[in-house]
Amino acid sequence: MNGTVSNFHYGAVTPVTAYLMACLGSALGLRCTTRSLRRARPGRRAGWLLLGAVSLGCGIWTMHFIAMIGFGVAETPVDYDPERTMLSLAIAIVVVAVGVFLVGYRGAAPGNLAVAGVFTGLGVAAMHYVGMAALEMRGAVHYRTTEVVLSVVISVVAATAALWAAVSVRGAWPAFGASLVMAMAVTGMHYTGMAAVTVRLHEVSPTAQSSVGLMSFLLVMLAGPLVALLVAGVIVMFDPDVVLGDGPWNTPGTPASTPRHALARSPHTGGVSPQTGTRSPT
């Protein structure tokens, strides 16, 4: 006997919230990766890439499990295995980090972008299905092949587009638009994969699903990634480009010790040269 599967137990609340979290992760990932390409010091470049990978990976994983709050089977309670749930989070962060570091250090040449996109896309799909393997219920989850293949294709295309955007998109509004599209693709991948799900029941529970315990577990699991996204948001918000705006004090080759007021009056602006102290010609 097949169970009655629902992905929208709470209506539009879970898909909309999941999409917004994917937007946040995508936006932070784009911002951090863009900053890594404009930093003069290699040490900071690696740090920004790592922060971008953690932001994007946590955003994708958070989207998945917020969406899963709306998942239920009418005839059986649903629970999760904590170890497999945490494994899915680790997979999301690691595969995104590999892709981000590949394009961050080797660029978006077609061959490199294809390798990074395929690896990351397959990894994100693996995160989804490992997360699904964490489901515990009085039944077995089965998948229709067509939807599974389509979800993997969407994941690879979305990952490739995200990595390309991370090293190619410039400006606040283009980056914002790219994050919306990326989040739509990632959320679409999730719900395409969920459309493949059928549950073959072993037995029918005489009691209704208790959603309170399940939601408490998922909220505890979500706490860590949400804190990571909050920390990343604070770091990006207080980044000099955000506080001061783009300017010569953020360009590669500028000494970190050079005061902002001296750079603002550099020869590029017709002001006083910080090297000579003389006014340059206008």
Q: Which residues pair with 176 in a beta bridge?
A: none
DSSP 200-219: EESS--SS---HHHHHHHHH
d(CA 151, CA 135): 19
| pLDDT computed for residue 268 by the predictor | 46
Residues 2-6 have a mean pLDDT of: 89
Q: What are phi and psi of 6, to 5 degrees?
A: -130, 140
Q: How does residue 245 score in pLDDT terms, banded at 50, 70 and 90?
A: very low
Q: What are phi and psi of 135, to 5 degrees?
A: -65, 135
Tokens representing residue 43 in the block: 């040490």
| pLDDT computed for residue 256 by the predictor | 39
Q: How does residue 259 score in pLDDT terms, banded at 50, 70 and 90?
A: very low
| pLDDT computed for residue 214 by the predictor | 64
Q: Which residue type occupies 220?
A: V
- Is pLDDT at 49 greater than 50 in this prediction? yes
d(CA 125, CA 193): 9
Tokens representing residue 235 in the block: 């770091």
pTM value > 0.75 = yes
- Is pLDDT at 141 greater than 90 in this prediction? yes
d(CA 167, CA 271): 33
Annotated domain spans of the chain = 5-246, 249-282
Q: How does residue 273 score in pLDDT terms, banded at 50, 70 and 90?
A: very low
Instruction: Tell which residue, 176, 185, 36, 38, has the closest CA to residue 100.
Output: 36
Mean pLDDT, the chain, rounded, equals 80
Alpha-carbon separation of residue 209 from 64, 67, 72, 220 (angstroms)? 21, 17, 8, 19
Tokens representing residue 177 in the block: 């638009």
Distance of alpha carbon 27 from its chain centroid, rounded?
8
Other beta carbons less than 10 A from residue 76's beta carbon? 21
Q: Are 26 and 182 in contact (CB under 8 A)?
A: yes
d(CA 21, CA 66): 9
Question: Burial letters for 102-134: b for 16+ Cβ neighbours within 10 Å, e otherwise?
Answer: bbbeeebeeeebebbbebbbebbbbbbbbbbeb
- Is pLDDT at 220 greater than 70 in this prediction? yes
Q: What are phi and psi of 67, to 5 degrees?
A: -60, -35
